[in-house]
Amino acid sequence: MDKMIVSGGQALRGEVQVSGAKNSALKMLFASLLAEGEHVFHNVPNLADVESASKLLEALGSKVSFSKNTLRVTTAQRKATEKNAAKGDYELVRKMRASILCLGPLLAKQGEAIVSLPGGCAIGSRPIDLHLEAMKALGAEVELREGYVHAHAKRLRGTSFLFEKVTVGGTENMMMAATLAEGETVLENVAKEPEIGDLAEYLIKMGARISGHGTSVIRIQGVEKLRPAEHTVIADRIEAGTLLIAGAISKGEVTVKGCSPHLLEAFVGKIREAGFRVDLTENSMTVFPQKSWKAVDITTAPHPLFPTDLQAQFMALMTLAEGTSVITETVFENRFMHVTELMRLGADITPKTQVAVVRGKPGCLTGAPVMATDLRASASLVLAGLAAQGDTTVNRIYHLDRGYEKLEEKLSLLGAKICRRA
């Protein structure tokens, strides 16, 4: 199993380009199930999760080719008699929770879907009850049997649906399903993440009639048929934030290019509050070296507030701040698994279930072997390693490969001493 070795103490310098957003690309790949023919996606990151989604699409009868960040999916016309035509198998789905996003498109297009209950990151129980409730509201019959969701409906019917809790995946699944439903669907209390907006833009190119994305109410007028389209995936704001922290924590000067700071306002606000100078242009962010920085509190919440996907990385930065920072995680119930690993590097943190108190101390980190437990936790350990004295070995970095394209190459180009070993 690959590990990453980071030799700390190098101030990073230079410019780095952000890749396309994993969380946007994956959903669009599943949206391709809604229309037969060739879909073309540009700026798709080359990641293990994209490979998993591609394999799932292939198992569902699509042809997929990927070259230089352009991914082409040809969705086949399916005969009603084909066995397993609409089945998301356990072996393919368990690797990635986002696979549940094939449920809505399959159901809407094929009238039936059999999708394994998902796996993915071990951050809390992460139920899919709201996805299922949403499909039922659209008129589908849904059953759970032997680890699979079985859903069918001759044709989905438009409906009004209020999400009990803000859910990114739930919003996306229902939005995709409703594009082919009969009549109007109104979704309330939806998530406003930019990746949902990007997915909506793709669906609109396919002929869907959607409005209100980016606000808390989305309206969808169902259509009879959609067509394939071509789209460029938006930048990965989480990668952008991670790279900005890499600059900050290493006391370097790093320009992160290709991502609108507008997607990261709450995050940039907190980095500035900690005392860093961050200069912004329409499409870039530059962080400047700071000898020491202040502890600040953060509370994660759905967009546009502080993203849960940057909580672990921000915590790494706070371990070296002057003062005490309170980090509150409200989106997931078990997202402090990086804490014990950061403590192995010398951080002083007390975690409770959803709150962690970080007693920052400049220079407190020293290299040690650590274990990555989920995608963003892995990133936080690499960041801590950049600032620690000596070598940090991050084990189990396959998590990192699920969500960061060429991270070690990008950090190396900025001057980090980082390498991968088998």
The yes or no reply on residue 45 touching ligand UD1 (CB under 6 A) is no
The yes or no reply on residue 170 touching ligand UD1 (CB under 6 A) is yes
The yes or no reply on residue 402 touching ligand UD1 (CB under 6 A) is no
The yes or no reply on residue 331 touching ligand UD1 (CB under 6 A) is yes
Question: One of 102, 121, 259, 419 is an active-site residue; which one?
Answer: 121
Determine the length of the chain. Answer: 422
Question: In the complex with ligand UD1, which residue's Cβ is closer, 360 or 403?
Answer: 403
Question: In the complex with ligand UD1, which residue's Cβ is closer, 236 or 253?
Answer: 236
Among 293, 332, 336, 404, binds ligand UD1 (CB under 6 A): 332
Question: In the complex with ligand UD1, which residue's Cβ is closer, 191 or 271?
Answer: 191
The yes or no reply on residue 99 touching ligand UD1 (CB under 6 A) is no
Burial environment of residue 328 by CB neighbours within 10 A (0 to 12, 13 to 18, 19 or more): middle
The yes or no reply on residue 392 touching ligand UD1 (CB under 6 A) is no
Question: In the complex with ligand UD1, which residue's Cβ is closer, 255 or 373?
Answer: 373
**Of the listed pieces 105-113, 167-175, 211-219, 378-386, which binds ligand UD1 according to CB under 6 A?**
167-175
The residue at minimum Cβ distance from ligand UD1 is 169
Question: In the complex with ligand UD1, which residue's Cβ is closer, 26 or 206?
Answer: 26
**Of the listed pieces 125-133, 226-234, 286-294, 351-359, which binds ligand UD1 according to CB under 6 A?**
125-133
The yes or no reply on residue 127 touching ligand UD1 (CB under 6 A) is yes
**Residues 50 and 71 sit within 8 Å (Cβ to Cβ):** yes
Could you tell me the smallest distance in angstroms from the CB atom of residue 128 to ligand UD1? 5
Distance between CA atoms of 269 and 56, rounded to whole angstroms?
39
The yes or no reply on residue 131 touching ligand UD1 (CB under 6 A) is yes
Could you tell me the smallest distance in angstroms from the CB atom of residue 123 to ligand UD1? 8
Distance between CA atoms of 193 and 176, rounded to whole angstroms?
15
269 CB-near residues (< 8 Å, 6+ apart): none
The yes or no reply on residue 336 touching ligand UD1 (CB under 6 A) is no
Among 28, 130, 140, 287, binds ligand UD1 (CB under 6 A): 130
Query: Could you give the maximum distance between any two Cα atoms of the chain, in Å?
Result: 67
Distance between CA atoms of 381 and 221, rounded to whole angstroms?
45
* DSSP states along 166-190: --HHHHHHHHHHHTTSBSEEEEES-
C-alpha dist (Å) from residue 349 to 27, 230, 243, 297, 312? 36, 47, 23, 13, 12
Could you tell me the smallest distance in angstroms from the CB atom of residue 301 to ligand UD1? 9
Could you tell me the smallest distance in angstroms from the CB atom of residue 126 to ligand UD1? 4
**Of the listed pieces 69-77, 161-169, 175-183, 240-248, which binds ligand UD1 according to CB under 6 A?**
161-169
C-alpha dist (Å) from residue 413 to 62, 131, 324, 371? 37, 41, 33, 25
Question: By rule CB under 6 A, what string of x and - marks binding of each residue 277-316 to ligand UD1?
Answer: -------------------------------xx-------
Q: Which two tokens stand for residue 190?
A: 């939806």
Burial environment of residue 348 by CB neighbours within 10 A (0 to 12, 13 to 18, 19 or more): middle
Coil/strand/helix, residue 328: strand
123 CB-near residues (< 8 Å, 6+ apart): 332, 334, 335, 337, 374
**Of the listed pieces 2-10, 74-82, 164-172, 382-390, which binds ligand UD1 according to CB under 6 A?**
164-172
How many residues touch ligand UD1 under the rule CB under 6 A: the total is 21
Could you tell me the smallest distance in angstroms from the CB atom of residue 266 to ligand UD1? 13
Among 129, 141, 188, 279, binds ligand UD1 (CB under 6 A): 129
The yes or no reply on residue 26 touching ligand UD1 (CB under 6 A) is yes
**Residues 181 and 222 sit within 8 Å (Cβ to Cβ):** yes
145 CB-near residues (< 8 Å, 6+ apart): none
Question: In the complex with ligand UD1, which residue's Cβ is closer, 4 or 50?
Answer: 50
The yes or no reply on residue 118 touching ligand UD1 (CB under 6 A) is no
Give catalytic status of residue 102 as yes or no: no
Distance between CA atoms of 63 and 58, rounded to whole angstroms?
6
Angle between helices 168-178 and 103-110 (to 10 degrees): 10
Distance between CA atoms of 67 and 65, rounded to whole angstroms?
7
**Residues 234 and 209 sit within 8 Å (Cβ to Cβ):** no
Q: Which two tokens stand for residue 5?
A: 């070795």
Q: Which residues are near ligand UD1 by CB under 6 A? A: 23, 26, 97-98, 124, 126-131, 165, 167-170, 191, 308-309, 331-332
Which positions are annotated as active-site residues? 121
